[in-house]
Amino acid sequence: MNTESAMPFEYNQVHFEELKKQQRKKVFLKGLLFLLPSLLLFSIFIFYPMIRTVYLSFFLTNQAGITTVFVGMQNYIDIFTSPIFMKSLTSTFLFVLFTVPGTIIVSLFLAVIANEKIKGIGFFRMIFSSTMGVSVAAASVFWLFLFHPSIGFFNKILVTFGFDKIGWLTNPEWALASVSLSTIWMNIGFTFLIILGGLQSIDSHLYESANIDGAGFFYKLRRITIPMLSPTLFFVVTVSIINSFQTFGQIDMLTKGGPSNETNLIVYSIYREAFVNYQYGTASAQAVILFIIILIMTVIQFKLGERKVHYQ
């Protein structure tokens, strides 16, 4: 009796489970269908090249990039024992350290002053964001003139005030700083625009109440502007760091990695290894290292930085 009554119930249960499973499968397939275009594009343009890079990093290659000899981890061992690659890593970290805070502080300053409502502010906003419209190549040529050792603007000023000329791009002590300076200038436009957007979305009531309470400019900046801006700043910091790690154009135009490899940033080093020396294996190994570094940096940022971010 007992078993008889339980049978249909169990049967029902199984049937229901089955249905549910089928339903889930359907939903999953539907979801996959929606994801398909991006998955397809990602696999072709991101995942396949990435896997291929990892694969190449275990080989030596001929000039067409076709693998010839399997060397296992040797490429990795080689680059980590090479003083040139280690220098390239140090330079890259220094470069990030110079450019990211520099860009953000300058852009934040410009955005705060451009956020005032005065007549003709649109003109200033346009000027401050204009570097976004200048390509890296054009900007580099322009900076090349400024940095020129004998007829450059900077050295002319130095000479007028009675100082010695500086080899901006040829002196190892200055080169990285010079490239950083021009990079900060190039990045200001974009960062400024994003931060200004963030500033304008802050509710003005907050400032009004603060004004009634008699808060000063800096107090408002510290207690209202920065916290309310934190999601924007977080975004800008993440993007800038990744961008800095991937800097290539200005290095190629301004210094070609010189003097004495002082500005041989990692992406330039990869380019040189692959397309000048035709060592696609070592280049791939370096690219994998760069990927890991950026991955770690981003994870750390999300773990540490996001806690401090205040989302409205």
Which parts of this chain interact with another protein (CB under 8 A)?
60-65, 68-69, 84, 144, 148-151, 167, 169-172, 255-256, 258-261, 272, 275-279, 281-282
> For the range 109-115, what are the long-range contacts, defined as Cβ-Cβ under 8 Å and sequence gap of 24 or more?
110/188, 110/192, 111/192, 111/195, 111/196, 111/198, 111/199, 112/199, 112/221, 112/225, 114/192, 114/196, 115/196, 115/199, 115/200
**123, amino acid identity:** F
Nearest to 179 by CA among 136, 209, 210, 218: 136
| DSSP track, 83-131 | HHHHHHHHHHHHHHHHHHHHHHHHHHHHHHHHTS--TTHHHHHHHHHGG
**DSSP-derived secondary structure letter, 210:** H
Question: What is the nearest approach in angstroms of another protein to the Cβ of residue 149?
Answer: 6
The whole-angstrom separation of Cα 101 and Cα 244 is 11
Distances (CA, A) of 98 to 147, 225, 245: 18, 24, 12
Question: What is the nearest approach in angstroms of another protein to the Cβ of residue 25?
Answer: 30
| Residue nearer to another protein on the CB measure, 129 or 261 | 261
SS3 148: coil
Distances (CA, A) of 118 to 39, 115, 125, 172, 207: 48, 9, 11, 45, 17
Question: What is the nearest approach in angstroms of another protein to the Cβ of residue 116?
Answer: 33
Cα radius of gyration rounded to whole Å, the chain? 27
| Residue nearer to another protein on the CB measure, 74 or 243 | 74
Tokens at 225, concatenated: 């502007």
| Residue nearer to another protein on the CB measure, 189 or 281 | 281
Question: What is the nearest approach in angstroms of another protein to the Cβ of residue 115?
Answer: 29
SS3 68: strand
Nearest to 182 by CA among 202, 168, 196: 168
Question: What is the nearest approach in angstroms of another protein to the Cβ of residue 79?
Answer: 12
| Residue nearer to another protein on the CB measure, 60 or 112 | 60
| Residue nearer to another protein on the CB measure, 125 or 148 | 148
Question: What is the nearest approach in angstroms of another protein to the Cβ of residue 247?
Answer: 18
The whole-angstrom separation of Cα 194 and Cα 206 is 21
| Residue nearer to another protein on the CB measure, 22 or 277 | 277
Chain-centroid distance, C-alpha 299: 13
Question: What is the nearest approach in angstroms of another protein to the Cβ of residue 84?
Answer: 8
| Residue nearer to another protein on the CB measure, 103 or 178 | 178
| Residue nearer to another protein on the CB measure, 97 or 141 | 141
